[in-house]
Amino acid sequence: MLLQEERESVVDYCRRLVTHHLTRGTGGNVSVCNRERGLMAISPSGMDYFRTEPEDVVVLDLEGRVVEGRRVPSSEVDMHRVLYAGREDIGAVVHTHSTCATTLACLHEGLPPVHYLIGFAGCDVRCTEYAPFGSRELARLAFEGMRDRYAVLLGNHGLLAAGPDIRYAFNAAEEIEFVCELYCRARSMGKPVLLSEADMEVVLEKFKSYGQRD
């Protein structure tokens, strides 16, 4: 089976979207890119994640042509594909409908640096205008909104996170949802105190050596 490891990762992390409360039902999608082969593995459209098996995951090239798979790929395939085509630093993409991130997206508000863990994405997280799901316009807006970042809020839609590998991309999605929740709660009680640009420069530098290295 082509890209077996990547397809197994997609199944695993799609299930984590539900168990980690980052989406409900069949919402969201996950993909992993194999740069050496110029291919991507993406979750199928509208399938129960706990019934999805690796062979249900669809393999496409970076032009969007199906290479292997009997299922219809996620409707957001273009949103994943443009990131792989335009960003050499991205190796995996995670799209969620997590509650607090989507709340800010429905307000068309970006996420400011209210907590240092926003550093998983960058110094802040932008929010795009609304575009229909599965559209090339949404893919374009997502790409522009994520420029120099690893996350973007999609207006009236949800959260898109990315990273050099699937572990990073999923962690970014989870941590940005956490920071969105903190920001929403803090705003309900008062005016949040934001980290300065200098504070975030220190955070981003420290993140370069954070965690384990394979």
Residue type, 147: R
Element (H, E) at 92: strand 92-96
> In angstroms, rounded to a whole number, what is the distance separating the alpha carbons of residues 7 and 44?
11
Question: Cβ neighbours of residue 98 under 8 Å, at least 6 residues apart?
Answer: 21, 22, 23, 158, 159, 173, 177, 180
Which of 76, 174, 175, 177 is the catalytic position?
76
Q: Are 123 and 205 in contact (CB under 8 A)?
A: no
CA atoms of 203 and 53, how far apart (whole Å): 39
H helices present in the chain, as ranges: 4-19, 77-86, 99-106, 136-145, 166-189, 197-207
Whether 76 is a known active-site residue: answer yes
State the catalytic residues.
Answer: 76
